[in-house]
């Protein structure tokens, strides 16, 4: 089916989902991403899709017919997934975790060359760049500390990663979690807001990745941040992903979930630790 054919008007221009159509979208999203849409997300789905549908001169019912026939072109499938997934993020989210990273874990791991850190589901880059700022702050506050890091940020949404790679953020985005001191120290004025300085940007690389896919090609890590994303998965998929994350951690490596998340029982490769008011998990040897 050509893009031109896809963009034809359907004659039915309603922009409200029936319950059947909402269920079809839920099944599509789960099949391709593992994300579970709750029953109360119907209005959210409608609002996120409305602009997307109008930009392609089509309707909910037409999209649903393509989904059911599995004839939605790949580029539109990608846009639909990106419209439905959450890219909510801000600087130094769960600030105590970053304080622990900067003041305790980076010095503890400094003998490793390099320290490899993975920020999973990093959205527009604030999390991996917050980690990069912590590295520079650790070096600044402890002269002589030799910390070498490689930070990988991954996300399902290619459009979010494009923003991350540019590292340009608006006044509003930099105001969310970023102190004036850190903004002044690590950002430069840009026509579209503020751009992160090269010394932080070069610590981070980005790669598109679906958490349902294999992690094997990523290698092993000393630290993994996988925060505020597993809450969108079914319990079964959540456990599977956590088991695969544990496999990628080096012995005595660290896993950070969000402050509101915890491991399901029975994951024997990881042990919980509470230090300095922060709960995290350590890979057993």
Question: Catalytic amino acids?
Answer: 48, 155
Q: Is 65 exposed, middle or buried (0-12, 13-18, 19+ CB in 10 A)?
A: middle
- Contact between 127 and 166 under an 8 Å Cβ cutoff? The reply is no
Integer Cα distance of 207 and 253 in angstroms = 22
Structure-token pair, residue 80: 């639909």
Integer Cα distance of 79 and 228 in angstroms = 22
- Please give the full DSSP string across the chain, using - where no structure is assigned: --HHHHTS--S-------HHHHHHHHHHHHHHH-B---GGGHHHHHHHHHHHHHHTT--HHHHHHHHHHT---HHHHHHHHHHHS-----TTSSHHHHHHIIIIIHHHHTTSSSEEEEESS-TTTHHHHHHHHHHHHHHHHSTT----EEEEEEES-HHHHHHHHHTEE-HHHHHTT--HHHHHHHEEEETTEEEE-HHHHTTEEEEE--TTS--GGG--EEEEE--SSGGGB-HHHHHHHHHHHHHHEEEEEEEE--TT--PPTT-TTEEEEEETTEEEEEE--
Structure-token pair, residue 209: 């990745």
């Amino acid at each position: 089916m050509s893009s031109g054919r896809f963009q034809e008007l359907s004659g039915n221009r309603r922009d409200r989902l029936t319950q059947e159509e909402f269920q079809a979208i839920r099944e599509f999203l789960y099949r391709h991403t593992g994300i579970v849409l709750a029953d109360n997300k119907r209005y959210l789905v409608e609002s996120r899709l409305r602009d997307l549908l109008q930009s392609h001169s089509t309707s909910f019912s037409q999209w649903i017919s393509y989904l059911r026939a599995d004839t939605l072109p790949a580029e539109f499938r990608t846009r639909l997934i990106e419209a439905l997934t959450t890219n909510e993020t801000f600087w130094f989210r769960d600030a105590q975790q970053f304080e622990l990273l900067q003041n305790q874990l980076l010095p503890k791991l400094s003998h490793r060359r390099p320290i490899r850190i993975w920020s999973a589901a990093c959205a527009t880059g604030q999390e991996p760049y917050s980690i990069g700022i912590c590295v520079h702050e650790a070096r600044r506050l402890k002269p002589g500390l030799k910390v070498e890091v490689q930070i990988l940020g991954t996300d399902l949404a290619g459009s979010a990663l494009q923003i991350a790679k540019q590292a340009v953020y608006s006044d509003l985005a930099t105001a969310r979690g970023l102190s004036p001191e850190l903004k002044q120290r690590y950002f430069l004025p840009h026509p579209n807001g503020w751009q992160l300085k090269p010394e932080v940007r070069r610590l981070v690389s980005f790669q598109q990745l679906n958490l349902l896919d294999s992690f094997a090609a990523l290698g092993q890590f000393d630290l993994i941040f996988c925060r505020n994303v597993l809450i969108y998965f079914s319990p079964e998929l959540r456990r599977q992903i956590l088991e695969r994350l544990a496999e990628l951690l080096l012995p005595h490596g660290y896993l950070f979930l969000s402050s509101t998340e915890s491991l399901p029982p029975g994951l024997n490769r990881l042990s919980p630790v509470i230090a300095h008011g922060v709960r995290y998990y350590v890979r057993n040897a």
